Structure 1
Amino acid sequence: MKRRLLAVLCAASMVFAMGTTAFAADEVKATGDEKIALITMDSIDQHWISLNEGAQEEAKELGVTVDFMSPNTKDDAQQIECVNNAVAGGYDAIMVAANGPDAISSALQEASDAGVKIVYVDSPANVDAAATFSTDNKAAGKTAGEEMIKTLKDAGVTSGKIGIINVNAATDSCVNREEGFRSAFDGTDFELMETQYGEGDAAKSQSIAENYITQGVVGIFGCNEGSTTGAGNAIKASGNDAIVGVGFDKSDAILNLIDDGYLHATMAQNPDVMGKEGVKAAVQAINGEDLGGEVTDTGVSVLTKDSAAE
Structure 2
Amino acid sequence: MKKKIFAALICASMIGCLAATPVLADETVKADGDYKIAVITMDSVDQHWVSLKEGAEEEAKADDVTVDFMAPDVKDDAKQIECINNAVAGGYDALMVAANSEDAVSGALQEAIDAGMKLVYVDSPANVEAEATFSTDNKAAGKTAGEEMIKALEDKGVKDGSIGIVNINNSTNTAIQREAGFREAFEGTDYELLETQFCEGDAAKAQTIAENYITEGVVGIYGTNEGASTGVGNAIKASGSDEIIGVGFDKSDTLKGLIEDGYLVCTMAQNPDQMGKLGVQACIKALNGEDLGGEVTDTGVSVLTKESLAEDGAEETEEAADADDAEEETEEAAE
Q: Tell me if both proteins adopt one fold, taking TM over 0.5 as the criterion.
A: yes
The letter for the 1-side match of 2:193 is: L
SS of structure 2 residue aligned to 1:217: coil
Cα 1:32–1:64, aligned 2, differ >3 Å: closer, same or farther?
A: farther
CA contact (8 A) 1:167 1:199 kept: yes
Alignment partner, residue 113 of structure 1: 114
CA distance in 2: counterparts of 1:182 and 1:132, whole angstroms: 25
Alignment partner, residue 184 of structure 1: 185
Alignment partner, residue 99 of structure 1: 100
| Runs of 5+ consecutive residues of structure 2 not aligned to the other structure | 1-16, 312-335
Q: TM-score, normalised by structure 1?
A: 0.92
Structure showing greater radius of gyration is 2
CA distance in 2: counterparts of 1:309 and 1:127, whole angstroms: 42
Alignment partner, residue 125 of structure 2: 124
Please state if 1:293 is matched with 2:302: no
Deviation track 1:184-228 (CA, whole Å, cap 9, x = no partner) reads 000000000000000000000000000000010000000000000
Q: CA deviation at 1:242?
A: 1.5
CA contact (8 A) 1:166 1:222 kept: yes
The letter for the 2-side match of 1:81 is: E
Q: CA deviation at 1:20?
A: 4.0
Q: CA deviation at 1:89?
A: 0.5
The letter for the 2-side match of 1:174 is: A
CA contact (8 A) 1:69 1:82 kept: yes
Q: CA deviation at 1:308?
A: 3.0
Alignment partner, residue 3 of structure 2: none
Alignment partner, residue 7 of structure 1: none
Q: CA deviation at 1:129?
A: 0.3
Q: CA deviation at 1:12?
A: 7.0
CA contact (8 A) 1:32 1:63 kept: no
Alignment partner, residue 219 of structure 1: 220
CA contact (8 A) 1:32 1:62 kept: no
CA distance in 2: counterparts of 1:281 and 1:244, whole angstroms: 40
CA distance in 1: counterparts of 2:24 and 2:37, whole angstroms: 26
| Runs of 5+ consecutive residues of structure 1 not aligned to the other structure | 1-10
Report 1:157-306 matches (<5 A): 157-306=158-307
The number of residues matched between the two structures is 295
CA contact (8 A) 1:141 1:176 kept: yes
Identity %: 71
The letter for the 1-side match of 2:147 is: E
The letter for the 2-side match of 1:60 is: K
CA distance in 2: counterparts of 1:33 and 1:20, whole angstroms: 26
CA distance in 2: counterparts of 1:284 and 1:300, whole angstroms: 25
CA distance in 1: counterparts of 2:229 and 2:310, whole angstroms: 22
CA contact (8 A) 2:18 2:303 kept: no
CA distance in 2: counterparts of 1:66 and 1:165, whole angstroms: 33
